[in-house]
Structure 1
Amino acid sequence: MWNILSVLLAVGLLTVLIAWGKVQPLLAFVLAALVAALLLGMPAAKIPGAIEKGIGDLLGSLVVVICLGAVFGKLIADSGAARQIAASLIGTTGSARIPVAMTVTGFVVGLPLYYNVGFVLMVPLIFSLVQQSGRPAVALGMPLLAGLSIAHGFLPPHPSATALVVAVHADMGKTLLYGLAVAIPTLIIAGPVFAMSLKNIRAEPAPMFRNAQPVETTPPGTFNCFATALLPVVLLAALTLVTLVRPDLAEPLAFFSNPLVVMLVSYFVAIWTLGLAQGRTLAQVMQGAQEALREIAPILLIIAGAGALKQVLIDSGVSAELGAQLATLPVPPLLLGWSVATLIRICLGSATVAGVTAAGVVGPLVQSSGCDPNLMVLAVGAGSLMCSHVNDSGFWMFKEYFGLSLKDTFRSWSLMETLVGVFGLLFVLLLSLFVR
């Protein structure tokens, strides 16, 4: 009982430090890990080593993949490929089906781009279409933002999903395939279907966005944009399908199906197709890469801190104890994982922090319960998106960019994120009936 109470106290301290004290997350995680280790009776001499090991183990297998994902996404944005994808989809579907086009745009653009980058990049497009079509801004933009959010929370190579894959020993390719199966129906419900109920919400965007127009540049060709942006997803999914159909090819293809190799190949292809072949110099492309690495550094520090806390829980033995106790509860393991992530999300706000923090708790649960680790990644991802409110930066970005009241922000943004979390879990549970 004391061990469980100690974990709760450590998580409570983490919540207070980040949500109330505004302490940098890495420092907050390290302090919470120190307190947890002392409360759990770990020998003082072993505590620093456990923290260092946790940081090194988690970052060691993630840092290259996440950094490659960041520079890849930055190149997609800087080259104009993201805007070209959006314009192509909207032009293809026509004005009558703009909600469908916005939904697909958000999801496709969200695959290579991190959420905040995609949000800032797509907002001018949203308000430009509002002016052209006369449609309500919130109802028009919500399907696109739902697509961005779902890709961010569910699918590799986004940081939270990638960290969860490593923490629970899942398979990146299978997680991506299962994630697509869960994400698409969830997106339909939380995107265009839900947006139909938002037509009466009136936005008052900031003056800088009232006459917003997409940046005028000459983008790459449409096929080039789609093919390059979706290349890592296609490679991972195709190689995973091949190994599922032909298990004897798993070992020969192991090198090529490794996420690090897939992201590296995808980035090199993007350097040529969206950079050098478009007349940009290598120095210009690399300048964007440097900016992307600066932007991704805070997320890497969050993951590092979560690794420190996770290792303390493992080395103290409480992680295995907690996993065994959770496994005895008359609740499906996937629902437990979702609940843990939801609770942390409500307390801390950040979906990334919620996902990687929950990983340290549910990791032993996966082993003790025998549930599919790939589905656990998705269940935790769904929980990490639940109930966005005033402690979430995404909540305030949406409110301020669209000029909404708090009531309308809860009615639109918070409810959309909650629908994503609830239906994401329901589709994960449904998929678990067919995955063995």
Structure 2
Amino acid sequence: MPLLIVALAVVVLLVLMTKFRLNGFIALLTVAIGVALWGASSGNLAIDGENVGIDAIPKIVASGLGDQLSHTLIVIGLGAMVGRVVGDAGAAQRIALKIVDVFGEKNVQWAMIVTSMIIGITMFYETAFVIVVPVAFTLVRATKTNLLWVGLPMSISLSTMHSFLPPHPGPVAAAGIYEASTGRTILYGFAIAVIAGVIVAMIWPRLPFVKKMNPSIPEGLAPKRMFEEDEMPDTFTSIGVAILPIILIAGAEIYAMFANTESTLGRIIAMVGAPEVALLITLFVAIIVFGPMRGTPMSEIAASMSDSARGMVMIIMVIGAGGSLKEVLVSTGIADYIADFTGGWDLNPIILVWFTAVILRVALGSASVAVTTAAGIAAPLVAASGVSPELMVLATACGSIAFSHVNDPGFWMFKEYFNLTVINTIKVRTTYTTVLSILGLFGVLGMSLIV
């Protein structure tokens, strides 16, 4: 019954948004409340293990929205402002033209893959996305190519790094549960991730149904115009500001691997390397470098930031509502139901944990919940089966990225930034995440023959 409810919720959501053209924020909240009403009426709605009634539904919905935005609002908001300031100063165009010079216009996809994979090693998908996407928008304008031709390799590469490798939350959580070596997990995962990511990133933009789509860049999220050569800042300054948050965030992660994070210096570096603080620092640097230092009035810089904020409002609201739906699905006990459902299956541990994570991901939308729940089920199998715990981490993480759809907040971020319809987002994102997941499973199974 719980899985049927999930399926019905997805169908209703699709009907509300495609047939009735209901706003995504309203549609997600409506479905979330509907599922919560079923949970309350059937006695399955709970908070912290205690059954609750319909009067608790607003609290659950608000909690899910708040939790989701607590992780993404600052990052997305600051990232959009940095991107807009960099773009309106001509710096994003300078970076884009430099990429084209180095790789050639025909190899712009390779440029996005290499850039995104390097950035995505340590940065969360959402953080890296909002930093790199202005460059993708500018490349689209500079090369006059399809938005998905440039944007898809970027998103696919970031998705792969985020899903396969520590220090991202899913793999880190699974490594802790399986007591796996983080270093070996990174080593094995990187080999699988690069191959799988490149294959999907180069194939997906060339698929016929993707090539038919030609979305426009969303209003308010791209530079207002193309710049002349003498209007753009120099390459060193442009790249320096753009990669500053990457240096701060990656530097903090590297420091944590080799030094004492409990010291005063370690705590300061950890704070500065937090995505929220790193992006705030970058925004101030961008304001100074592209404002007073170039003779640009602060009123223009402020207008750029305001425009980016207006362009982000609906994206943030939709992502938050996606968090509400995820919280309701968790509160109705669907994760526990799936855990019991798959716990007794007699399968190869790698396949079992992958499949369990896939089901949880489809049902709940949250990759983190899918990873931790699936790993909790499969952890006892590691010692009994002799399977490498590092490979179990990767199998779990691979499963958790499959079938990204309407209950995944990342789905809505992808949809809004690339200005797609719900159906087209399913065609593009849901399919590429699923293929990445399957390729990852094959990679893990292949590696299990030699590890």
TM bucket (normalised to shorter chain) is: 0.5 to 0.7
The correspondence for 1:216, drawn from 209, 222, 228, is 228
Q: Secondary structure at the match of 2:291?
A: helix
State whether residues 232 and 266 of structure 1, in contact with CA within 8 Å, keep that contact through their aligned partners in structure 2. yes
Q: Does 1:36 align with 2:35?
A: yes
2:154 corresponds in structure 1 to: 148
Aligned-pair CA distance for 1:373: 8.2
1:79 corresponds in structure 2 to: 89
Letter in 2 for 1:146: L
User: How far apart, in 2, do the equivalents of 1:44 and 1:36 lie?
Assistant: 11
User: How far apart, in 2, do the equivalents of 1:19 and 1:170 lie?
Assistant: 37
User: How far apart, in 2, do the equivalents of 1:333 and 1:8 lie?
Assistant: 22
User: How far apart, in 2, do the equivalents of 1:321 and 1:85 lie?
Assistant: 49
Letter in 1 for 2:15: V
Aligned-pair CA distance for 1:45: 1.6
Listed one character per residue, the Cα deviations across residues 130-180 of structure 1 (whole Å, up to 9, x for unaligned) are xxxxxxx67xx8763333332564577xxxxxxx959x9799xx9xx8998
CA distance 1:333–1:195, shift in 2 (3 Å): same
Q: Secondary structure at the match of 1:301?
A: helix
Q: Does 1:422 align with 2:435?
A: yes
State whether residues 103 and 191 of structure 1, in contact with CA within 8 Å, keep that contact through their aligned partners in structure 2. yes
Q: Does 1:294 align with 2:297?
A: no
State whether residues 239 and 257 of structure 1, in contact with CA within 8 Å, keep that contact through their aligned partners in structure 2. yes
Percent same amino acid among aligned pairs?
22
Aligned-pair CA distance for 1:315: 2.9
Listed one character per residue, the Cα deviations across residues 252-274 of structure 1 (whole Å, up to 9, x for unaligned) are 24323322112212222222233
The correspondence for 1:266, drawn from 257, 282, 290, is 282
State whether residues 106 and 144 of structure 1, in contact with CA within 8 Å, keep that contact through their aligned partners in structure 2. no
Q: Does 1:237 align with 2:250?
A: yes
State whether residues 323 and 362 of structure 1, in contact with CA within 8 Å, keep that contact through their aligned partners in structure 2. no
Listed one character per residue, the Cα deviations across residues 168-225 of structure 1 (whole Å, up to 9, x for unaligned) are 9799xx9xx8998776544543456788999xx999999xxxxxx9442621111122
1:352 corresponds in structure 2 to: none
The correspondence for 1:321, drawn from 337, 341, 361, is 337
The answer to which of 98-107 and 10-19 deviates more is: 98-107
Q: Secondary structure at the match of 1:49?
A: helix
1:308 corresponds in structure 2 to: 324
User: How far apart, in 1, do the equivalents of 2:109 and 2:9 lie?
Assistant: 44
Aligned-pair CA distance for 1:29: 1.8
Letter in 2 for 1:242: Y
CA distance 1:36–1:195, shift in 2 (3 Å): closer
2:291 corresponds in structure 1 to: 275
User: How far apart, in 2, do the equivalents of 1:90 and 1:80 lie?
Assistant: 15
State whether residues 157 and 198 of structure 2, in contact with CA within 8 Å, keep that contact through their aligned partners in structure 1. no
Letter in 1 for 2:156: I
User: How far apart, in 1, do the equivalents of 2:275 and 2:250 lie?
Assistant: 11
Q: Pairwise mapping of residues 59-98 of structure 1 onto structure 2 (< 5 A)?
A: 59-93=69-103
User: How far apart, in 2, do the equivalents of 1:229 and 1:190 lie?
Assistant: 26
CA distance 1:185–1:126, shift in 2 (3 Å): farther
Letter in 1 for 2:155: S
CA distance 1:232–1:335, shift in 2 (3 Å): farther
Listed one character per residue, the Cα deviations across residues 58-110 of structure 1 (whole Å, up to 9, x for unaligned) are 22333112211111122222222222112112223457866645655787899
State whether residues 333 and 366 of structure 1, in contact with CA within 8 Å, keep that contact through their aligned partners in structure 2. yes
State whether residues 402 and 433 of structure 2, in contact with CA within 8 Å, keep that contact through their aligned partners in structure 1. yes
User: How far apart, in 2, do the equivalents of 1:267 and 1:86 lie?
Assistant: 20
State whether residues 85 and 105 of structure 1, in contact with CA within 8 Å, keep that contact through their aligned partners in structure 2. no
1:227 corresponds in structure 2 to: 240
CA distance 1:67–1:322, shift in 2 (3 Å): same
CA distance 1:98–1:360, shift in 2 (3 Å): closer
Task: Identify unmatched segments of 5+ residues in structure 1.
Answer: 128-136, 157-163, 207-212, 345-354, 387-391, 400-408
User: How far apart, in 2, do the equivalents of 1:21 and 1:96 lie?
Assistant: 41
The alignment's TM-score, normalised by the length of structure 2, stands at 0.65
1:384 corresponds in structure 2 to: 404
RMSD: 5.0
User: How far apart, in 2, do the equivalents of 1:205 and 1:49 lie?
Assistant: 37
User: How far apart, in 2, do the equivalents of 1:227 and 1:396 lie?
Assistant: 26
Q: Secondary structure at the match of 1:244?
A: helix
User: How far apart, in 1, do the equivalents of 2:227 and 2:91 lie?
Assistant: 12
Q: Secondary structure at the match of 2:341?
A: helix
CA distance 1:38–1:230, shift in 2 (3 Å): same
State whether residues 109 and 153 of structure 2, in contact with CA within 8 Å, keep that contact through their aligned partners in structure 1. no
Tell me how many residue pairs correspond in the alignment: 379
User: How far apart, in 2, do the equivalents of 1:22 and 1:64 lie?
Assistant: 29
CA distance 1:150–1:308, shift in 2 (3 Å): same
Aligned-pair CA distance for 1:120: 4.5
Aligned-pair CA distance for 1:121: 3.1
Letter in 2 for 1:125: A
Q: Does 1:7 align with 2:26?
A: no
1:131 corresponds in structure 2 to: none
